[in-house]
Chain A
Amino acid sequence: MSSTAINHTLEHSGHSHDDHGHHEQSFLTKYVFSQDHKMIAKQFLITGIIMAVIGMLLSILFRIQLGWPDQSFPLMETFLGKWAEGGRIKPDFYLSLVTIHGTIMVFFVLTAGLSGTFSNLLIPLQIGARDMASPIANMISFWFFFIACVIMMASFFVESGPASAGWTIYPPLSALPTAISGSGTGMTLWLISMVFFIASSLIGALNYITTILNMRTKGMDLWKMPLTIWALFLTAILGTLSFPVLVAGVVLLIFDRSVGTSFYLSDLVVQGQVLPQQGGSPILFQHLFWFLGHPEVYIVIMPALGITSEVIATNARKPIFGYHAMVYSLIGITVLSFIVWGHHMFVTGMSPFLGGVFMITTLIIAVPSAVKTFNYLATLWRGNIRFTPAMLFAIGLVSFFISGGLTGIFLGNAALDINLHDTYFVVAHFHLVMGSAAICGMLCGVYHWYPKMFGRMMDDKLGYLHFWFTFIGAYLVFFPMHFMGLDGVPRRYYAFTEFEFMKEWLTVNTFVSWAAIIAALGQVAFLWNFFYSIWYGKKATQNPWQSNTLEWTTPVEHLHGNWPGEIPTVYRWPYDYSKPGHHEDFILQTIPFSETMSSNFPHDFEGNPEAERIQLEWQKNQEAERLAANKA
């Protein structure tokens, strides 16, 4: 199976219709409607970065409101017009800001921007394929994503403003155009945008799975795949199984909004008028939404975990600790993620017994997550660590994953959740564990594979600056929120000045807002570094990090098809770092054991008696030579 790629290439070299091997590409086919996976990865990344900047600016806007609720900023009126009359953000627009911030960050940045970029870049390169199974579908996937971004942004330019029912768009708020201004045209655009987004994700995910299962190079069996590929593979499976469920939920919502059905709506009175819809169940939407929604948070974090595994092993110059355990814990997370969605609904009218079941499944996820964390730490332990910017972000991920993951154990508890739900404790939890951790993973990947993408290096010093601003900034923003949440401060509120018990938190909010602004300014270092280095960065060498995986055997300048000659064969797992007896501290996956006789272990041969015999003989000869030399 794994040799199909090579066979096809060889087979068709003689075919008469193979006249489209390499012709001059126009600007349009090379940079815009590209079918090359590396270019599509860059398209995903740059679109993702632009969306991330927009999402971050939105968060700064509502942080300004939360930090200085009584102050007027005339500049805001200049930019935002009627949404900030008198220099203060209007409550309706505040809700839009948090909704679109959440949507952009979860879907457009951390789903498409993260797994879109790295699946496209790394899958063919690390498994040894010329391209994706279907490059055309790959191109369509990007353009659907792009259309989704444009539509989502367009909703800022409609009269009634963007969607404002929260990124979870719970009905009835989202289903009734009359409920709040954001549920009008803005919500319609949100739904259309998400339809495109889901289509993009699904097309992408199908392509990733197919490519990984069918197009691995010779020798690349599943247990020789880098952990990034495992993570991206399982992420794609999650997407394939969960996004269709969101389609079902969203379509029923569209019917409720536009046709007048009552899947979700019942007993509603808006502005003194009883609505005709009766008999619907709003809980039904939550079931459908969170059946996607929970796997979605693993779609966000798993690629980041995979990237981190690779970067930590490379930069600690040590084999990843517990490769199999890492894979099995990823599989465990994948399976468990489908049976925990109820923990988002503990207080929305679920039977306590069911709540108990969901609580247990939720807490079990702590096990594979902890396995991964301990494995990261054990990999770092006594490693010969190189603190590249990518490595710092990888360690940052581990830190956020721990501190955010611990609060997950609180929230997963059905009884504690009665107190904690919908407070800033939840905001703190998910921003650390899936927000900050995943964005660290993404930035880690950007710094690490930048030489592969652009053939140039990013500046290290700016990278360090960026890391410390981001890392410290994120903790200063999200850590105080735990205490606010424990005190019962609810999320999504416009201002806390109206409530006596929340007034004391105003100073904390001001502090958090300052931290957010400074962390956001820190991102300028990254943006400058990223875009400047595309053209003016130091030229990269073929294998700048002395890494083992296949992508570093390709030439620096990109060519369609990745390898100029035959695709290399893989002989070993990707984590042979600092192997005792070898003259270098890394051994590429393409180097056969016959060339590394001095460092082979008996278990390297997987029980192949012939290979073991040859190795033993070689060792005997070496021993004899050494003795002879001693005697002489």
Chain B
Amino acid sequence: MAQVPLRQDTENYKPKKFLMWLFIITSCMLFAALTSAYIVYTGGDPSRGIKVKLPVEFIYSTVLIVISSITMHLAFKAAQSMDGAKQRVFLAVTAILGLAFFYSQYSAWNALFEAGAPFVNSNASESFIYVFSAFHVIHIFAGICMIIYTMIRQGSKITQARNMFHMDVTALFWHFLDILWIYLYVFLLLNQ
């Protein structure tokens, strides 16, 4: 009686994509908590708050991640039209832009440090900038891992449905990271 195909788990893409949405919600809660913590902390005393100008590297970051969102969308389009080579190329470009984003964030940290706002700081509002950025960069790292996985699996023999599922989830996550960074950057700009 056990000969019934029972492995829905490898194919039920719809619930699995839903899992990604839920993960995005948890991520939103995490950043909502951090930014609220910033507001509560900074509101506690007038001596707190970001007293330096945000480094110009953050603008580069923003440009990079917006472009990467576009290339991610192009990869998605390529996957839809079943153009495997093009999909891989755009995914690679997105991943490289992601790495460049890494670097721009790193140089932003250096710039902040030199501008007199180190991480270890008696004005923790300025430490928060590093925390926002670091948490986001960890997400970017996860996103790059997903992109690489999608590329590798795309190269192996998988069905178009499965490829589209990988692509779908990766793109969803990547666009979320884009929007998340813009939120964080605007938040910081408003609190400058």
Contacts and interface: CB of A to CB of B under 8 A. Distances in A.
B16 interface: yes
Interface in B120-171: 120-124, 127, 131, 135
B7 interface: yes
Contacts of A457: none
Contacts of A287: 37, 40
Interface stretch (B20-28, B62-70, B75-83): B20-28
B29 interface: yes
Given A9-B5, A9-B6, A248 B33 contact: yes
Interface residues of B, number: 43
Nearest to A284: B41
A261 B127 contact: yes
Given A214-B14, A262-B121, A564 B26 contact: no
B22 A130 contact: no
B7 A279 contact: no
Contacts of A561: 4, 6
Nearest to B159: A17
A471 to B, nearest CB: 38
A431 to B, nearest CB: 29
A560 B8 CA distance: 11
Contacts of B2: 21-22, 559-560, 564
Instruction: Give the interface residue-count category, chain A.
Output: 35 or more
A245 interface: yes
Given A244-B29, A248-B30, A255-B131, A288 B37 contact: yes
A244 B27 contact: yes
B124 A130 contact: no
Interface in A204-218: 206-207, 209-211, 213-215
- Which of A279, A284, A561 counts the most B-chain CB atoms under 10 A from its CB? A279
A209 B47 CA distance: 44
B119 A206 contact: no
A5 B8 contact: yes
Contacts of A564: 1-2, 4
Given A261-B124, A261-B127, A262-B122, A245 B33 contact: yes
Contacts of A288: 33, 37
Given A134-B9, A243-B26, A260 B124 contact: no
Interface string A528-539: 000000000000
A598 B18 CA distance: 42
- Which of B22, B32, B124 counts the most A-chain CB atoms under 10 A from its CB? B124
Given A214-B18, A559-B2, A248 B9 contact: no
B26 A279 contact: no
A21 B124 contact: no
A131 B10 CA distance: 11
B52 interface: no
A255 B127 contact: yes
B29 A130 contact: no
B34 interface: yes
23 contacts: A8-B12, A9-B6, A21-B5, A35-B9, A134-B16, A206-B26, A210-B18, A211-B15, A215-B8, A241-B29, A245-B32, A255-B127, A259-B119, A263-B124, A279-B45, A279-B47, A279-B48, A279-B122, A279-B123, A279-B124, A281-B44, A284-B37, A564-B2
Identify the 9 closest CB pairs spanning chains A and B, nearest first: A561-B6, A133-B15, A244-B30, A214-B15, A248-B33, A278-B122, A245-B33, A244-B29, A279-B122
